[in-house]
Amino acid sequence: MLGLLWLIPALPAAGFVLLMLLNRRLSRPAAAWIGAGSVGLSALVALIVCGSFIVSPPAGDSYHQVLWTWFDVAGFAPTIGFYLDAVSVLWVLVITFVGFLIHLYSTEHMEHDEGFTRFFMYLNLFVASMLVLVLADNMLLLYLGWEGVGLCSYLLISFWQKDPQNVYSGRKAFIVTRVGDTALIAGLFLLFTQLRTLQIQPMLAAAQHSFVPGSAVAVAAALLILGGAVGKSAQVPLQTWLPDAMAGPSPVSALIHAATMVTAGVYLIARTNVLFTLAPDARLVVAIVGTVTLLIAGFSALVQHDLKRALAYSTISQIGYMFLALGVSGWEAGVFHFMTHAFFKALLFLAAGVIIEALADEHDIFKMGGLVRELPAVFWTFTIGAAALAALPFVTDGFYSKDLIIATSLGSVDGSLWFYVGSLVGAFITALYSFRLVFLVFFGERHTEVTRRPRWRQLVPLYALATLSIVGGLVWMPGWVSGFHPLEDFLDTALPQLDLTSRYAAFADGTGGAFVTILIVAVGIGIAWLLWIPWRKSTHAFSESPAVRPLAAYWLGGWGFDWVYERVFVRPVKWFAHAARNDLVDYVVGGIAWLNVAAWRALSAGQTGRLRAYVAVAGFGIVLVLAVVVLR
């Protein structure tokens, strides 16, 4: 059964090829069947393979399948091979199932779009690339998947390519992530040179053997990998592309920019956790990056007008949580949060897509409102998603995973009070902004009428994801509730366990810490209700007041990162490209040509054509020669 592993990425890839070759000749239903069907089949195979893996784990808790050797140059021989362990099982299941639900949703959401087949073509290629990324057995193949998802992200963000703004957003995403990729590829050079292999498991074993913990080499390698992860996962300082990426269709935002591609960084760090274990300084940087990002993005999400942009900043913030967890050696906690986040964030984006479509492409939450009775199914599913995002205690999966991270940020041996406070503040802000969205979008007076309603192909994924958002956390109950944690046991086969041994561990991991978290979340939701239900007008007035307005604008603009990057990087390059467009060096070449012409002019001035002048010169010359000869 495990031998079917290669089919999981191959099926969507085949879907891509079919859709590409038969593009014009396919009817919409046919394209939908191929597009969604390939991913559905892949999900089925994933179920079989992963199920077999879970039920009867192979020796060493991992399965390795090599298809062929990519190339072999002087001992550098990466393979096209797939490696299955607990971590990749989790990612594969999320990608295929959530992916399938989103494909199903898209068959209805995009049904009026003229690029229907093209959409599924790109989406299939994306799923195939993402699966290659998480299943790759060596860093180079991982990088192939890495770039593949970047490409598809670009293609899908700029999907409605008639609008240059969309294309610009796509380009921005590709270029910013590529900056991170440069760091990653430098890391690959370093790793290969030091460890002589890029096959992941042998490489990590070699690292443990030959890297001195804390040495410059280990830290450099880990930091370079972090650089790549930061780009793909939209963390500070490379987070500026994700809000603009909302220019793409909502299914794209759900799949790529919430559930899967942006978590590739988390996967990468989890996969190479050995390197980070060997480099405590790098781990610290990861945790700091995570904390800073979750706070910055949280504040930005609080002031957004555009529904999808708010969700985008929320994604950045939640991934910050995952990075924080990874940075304090809470590998399994970060992975757990990835899973729960995939469910509720995809849910939120899909629901947002329905709302936007229902209101005839209205994105501004201040122009929504009063939708509780109009779109009840959407209301309930969206609220469940928002509640999970806010970590509503016990009944949402977000609570379990976020609480675990908060506990780990203090309780882990690498934890610190700063991280703890940061994560708590973040939780408060999250609760605030997620319910702000619920109250502004669904409550209050209706500003825009509903013109389209979702049908089953859009509703079923919403229900499915909502269900998962509720029960998904139950696979890892906290110690003080019950001893039921199959997910933790499963992940233990591939990742180091949580090392909750700091001074405050007892508090953090026990009822004390949980109580603090629950309190913060409850207060946050309560205040959100107050601000946007009874006191809505005063809240608006407050945010428009001269004291607050600049701050809100600053947060709205993403804390000025775009502004800085535009001035420091983009404009100088554009200026230079324009100023030098006729090629500076050509001025030198032209100068040589000009010198030639000038010399010609000077010399031909001497050719007057007049005999007397020639004779004079000749005479002068003769005299000179004679003088030299005679006077020697």
Q: Which of residues 195-224 bind another protein (CB under 8 A)?
A: 195-197, 199, 202, 206, 210, 217
Residue 25 makes contact with another protein by CB under 8 A: no
Place of tokens 């009070």: 417
In the chain, the N- to C-terminal Cα span, in Å, equals 104
Nearest residue (CB) to another protein, 147 versus 403: 147
Rounded CA-CA distance 447/329 in Å is 48
Residue 178 makes contact with another protein by CB under 8 A: yes
Q: How far is the CB of 305 from another protein (least distance, A)?
A: 26
Instruction: Mark residues 141-160: x for contact with another protein by CB under 8 A, - for none.
Output: --xx-xxx--x--xx--x--
Nearest residue (CB) to another protein, 193 versus 482: 193
Nearest residue (CB) to another protein, 264 versus 516: 264
Residue 432 tokens read as 């605030």
Nearest residue (CB) to another protein, 140 versus 441: 140
Strand partners, 306: 364
Q: How far is the CB of 189 from another protein (least distance, A)?
A: 4
Q: Which of 125, 195, 79, 100 is nearest to 461 (CA)?
A: 100
Helices 264-271 & 139-157, crossing angle to 10 degrees?
170
Q: Which of 286, 279, 278 is nearest to 320 (CA)?
A: 286
Nearest residue (CB) to another protein, 174 versus 382: 174
Tell me which H or E stretch contains 92: helix 86-109
Stretches 83-91, 192-200, 370-378, 443-451: which one binds another protein (CB under 8 A)? 192-200
Nearest residue (CB) to another protein, 146 versus 504: 146
Q: Which residues contact 370 (CB under 8 A, 6 or more apart)?
A: 442, 443, 444, 445, 446, 447
Residue 547 tokens read as 């004291």
In the region spanning residues 599 to 628, those forming contacts with another protein, defined by CB under 8 A, are 604, 607-612, 615-616, 619
Residue 171 makes contact with another protein by CB under 8 A: yes
Residues near another protein (CB under 8 A), total: 73
How, if at all, do strands 79-84 and 63-69 pair?
Answer: antiparallel
Q: How far is the CB of 182 from another protein (least distance, A)?
A: 5
Residue 140 tokens read as 């180079």
Q: How far is the CB of 570 from another protein (least distance, A)?
A: 10
In sign, the C-alpha dihedral spanning 226, 231, 235, 238 is positive
Q: Which of 167, 284, 395, 450 binds another protein (CB under 8 A)?
A: 167
In the region spanning residues 115 to 144, those forming contacts with another protein, defined by CB under 8 A, are 140, 143-144
Which alpha helices (H) appear in 448-583, and where do they start and end?
A: 456-471, 486-492, 505-509, 511-532, 536-544, 549-556, 561-565, 571-579
Q: How far is the CB of 594 from another protein (least distance, A)?
A: 14
Q: Which of 319, 322, 315 is nearest to 409 (CA)?
A: 322
Q: How far is the CB of 165 from another protein (least distance, A)?
A: 9
On whether the CB atoms of residues 125 and 15 are closer than 8 A, the answer is no
Q: How far is the CB of 62 from another protein (least distance, A)?
A: 18
Nearest residue (CB) to another protein, 546 versus 609: 609
Q: How far is the CB of 267 from another protein (least distance, A)?
A: 17
Q: Which of 164, 483, 546, 550 binds another protein (CB under 8 A)?
A: 164
Instruction: Mark residues 59-98: x for contact with another protein by CB under 8 A, - for none.
Output: ---------xxxxxxxxxx--x------------------
Nearest residue (CB) to another protein, 110 versus 140: 140
CB atoms within 10 A of CB 33: 16
CB atoms within 10 A of CB 198: 21
Nearest residue (CB) to another protein, 612 versus 632: 612
Q: Which residues contact 579 (CB under 8 A, 6 or more apart)?
A: none
Q: How far is the CB of 31 from another protein (least distance, A)?
A: 15
Q: How far is the CB of 597 from another protein (least distance, A)?
A: 14
CA-to-CA dists, residue 9 to 13, 38, 93, 136, 344, angstroms: 6, 10, 12, 10, 24
Nearest residue (CB) to another protein, 73 versus 629: 73
Q: How far is the CB of 615 from another protein (least distance, A)?
A: 6
Q: Which of 14, 22, 44, 186 binds another protein (CB under 8 A)?
A: 186
**Three-state secondary structure string covering 404-418:** HHHHHHHHCCCCCHH
Q: Which of 59, 193, 361, 628 binds another protein (CB under 8 A)?
A: 193
Nearest residue (CB) to another protein, 121 versus 491: 121
On whether the CB atoms of residues 341 and 311 are closer than 8 A, the answer is no
Instruction: Mark residues 535-574: x for contact with another protein by CB under 8 A, - for none.
Output: --------------------------------------x-
Q: Which of 547, 577, 602, 631 binds another protein (CB under 8 A)?
A: 577
Chain-centroid distance of CA 20 in Å reads 26
Nearest residue (CB) to another protein, 537 versus 601: 601
On whether the CB atoms of residues 404 and 340 are closer than 8 A, the answer is no
Q: How far is the CB of 585 from another protein (least distance, A)?
A: 4
Rounded CA-CA distance 153/135 in Å is 19
Rounded CA-CA distance 176/101 in Å is 29
